[in-house]
A and B are shown apart, each in its own frame.
Chain A
Amino acid sequence: MIAALANPLRFMAFSRLAAPILAVLAVGLAGAGLWLGFAAPPDYQQGETVRIMFVHVPAAWVSMLAYACLGVASFFSLVFRHALADAAAKAAAPLGAAFTLLALITGSLWGRPMWGAWWVWGDARLVSVLVLFLLFVGYMALRASIDDEGKAARAAEILALIGLINLPIIKFSVDWWNTLHQGESILRAGGPTLANVYLVPLLLMGAGYAAAFGALWLARTRAEVWRRRAVSLALQAALA
């Protein structure tokens, strides 16, 4: 599948169909998730703030998914020098930064009424997610700061690969350290601790966010492929 899509022509044909399908899927899944989320009763401890979970947790999941995509695409670009992989990595970064920022802001809005604080510097989960945001921003800043596109890509890809170490730190931060952030309640040994009335809308929203990321990522990668084609055509015209 990946080998077949490595061909830019095949990728453009595939993404032209896949992006709108994923977008429609995202709207349907998120619509169903929101509907069920607002039909669920208030939590006996957290009250109505539990509804923030339906936008906060999927944003956090997709921020990690986006970084994993950035890391894998950077690996393929760095090792195999594949231009499409580099375009995909470049396209994933701003989306990842946006999802991470959404996770941080909605988390802060959930933390204030539950913990009495907007932000806690000593909390490993919060700080590791902030580091994730800075990695996305750092990747984009590094690419923008070097004029030679090839050198900029290499430097940013190395940063992206080093940053992969942060993903297990985020995942296990609530197990390795005492944190104010609640422990793992879904992807844990023994099954989720969340009641189905919250779990089902949360999973629907998670799938909807993932589909939205997929659609946007494909569309941005297509835009980057066109940008490179435009640069190449402009260069040819200038040399002619």
Chain B
Amino acid sequence: MIALSLSAGKYAAFVWPAYAVTLLGFAWMIVDTLARARRWRRKVDQLEADQQNPRRAK
């Protein structure tokens, strides 16, 4: 079993913020990308449905 070293000692104030910032950066990229994809996919579905049924659009 490999032992993990999770104590950054006197450098903890630099090591953990670097990982925290990375986590935040990835979280933003993932959430923003998925939100955009969902929003435009829904919009296209709605517009296509309106096109097939013009009465629904009005």
Contact = CB atoms under 8 A, between A and B. Distances in A.
B2 A39 contact: yes
Interface in A78-134: 94-95, 98-99, 101-102, 105-106, 109-110, 112-113
Interface residues of B, number: 39
Given A35-B2, A35-B4, A226-B37, A48 B48 contact: no
Given A109-B18, A220-B33, A226-B37, A47 B50 contact: no
Contacts of B12: 48
A41 interface: yes
Interface in A17-76: 35-36, 38-42, 47-49, 51-52, 55-56, 59
B5 A216 contact: no
A230 interface: yes
Interface of B is mostly: helix
Contacts of B51: 233, 236-237
A222 interface: yes
A110 B25 CA distance: 17
A39 B34 contact: no
Nearest to A51: B15
A102 B5 contact: no
Contacts of B3: 39
Interface of A: 35-36, 38-42, 47-49, 51-52, 55-56, 59, 94-95, 98-99, 101-102, 105-106, 109-110, 112-113, 212, 216, 219-220, 222-224, 226-227, 229-230, 233-234, 236-237, 240
Closest 9 CB pairs of A and B: A226-B40, A233-B47, A223-B36, A223-B37, A39-B2, A230-B43, A48-B8, A106-B18, A109-B18
